[in-house]
Amino acid sequence: MPNEADKFAVDVIYALADKQKIIPVKVTPGTTFIEAVRQSRMAEFFPEIDLDKVKLGTFSRSAKHNEELQPGMRVEIYRPLIADPKDVRRKRAEKAKEEGRANKVTGGRA
């Protein structure tokens, strides 16, 4: 059994547009991303987090639930996208063409 000296700290982070929460947790070597999220009890503060389906990462890099944490990492809990970025870009380009701000054939600047 690992002793207290083997443990290291990681931050579990979740953010909404109007509020965010950072919970520091002490974990043992071999702890996975999802175990750290469960240990932080973040879902008690944000009940909309579905621990079975939630996307996780560290420093904007996607991570698997069963990936092991290393010292210096943080656990980011990602929210689902509101809109598909490709669709948003496509609609913005179509609007620019209609308004004459873009070439109707190439889509480049007029």
Give pLDDT tens digits for 7-48. Answer: 999 999 999 989 999 999 999 999 999 999 999 999 999 999
pTM: 0.72
Portion of the chain with pLDDT greater than 90, in percent: 61
User: Taking 80 as the threshold, does the pLDDT of residue 87 lie above it?
Assistant: yes
Show contacts of 81-84: CB within 8 Å, 24+ apart.
none
User: Taking 90 as the threshold, does the pLDDT of residue 55 lie above it?
Assistant: yes
The residue with greater pLDDT, 73 or 90, is: 73
Q: How does 43-68 read in b/e, with b if 16+ C-beta sit within 10 Å?
A: beeeeeeeeeebebbbeeeebeeeee
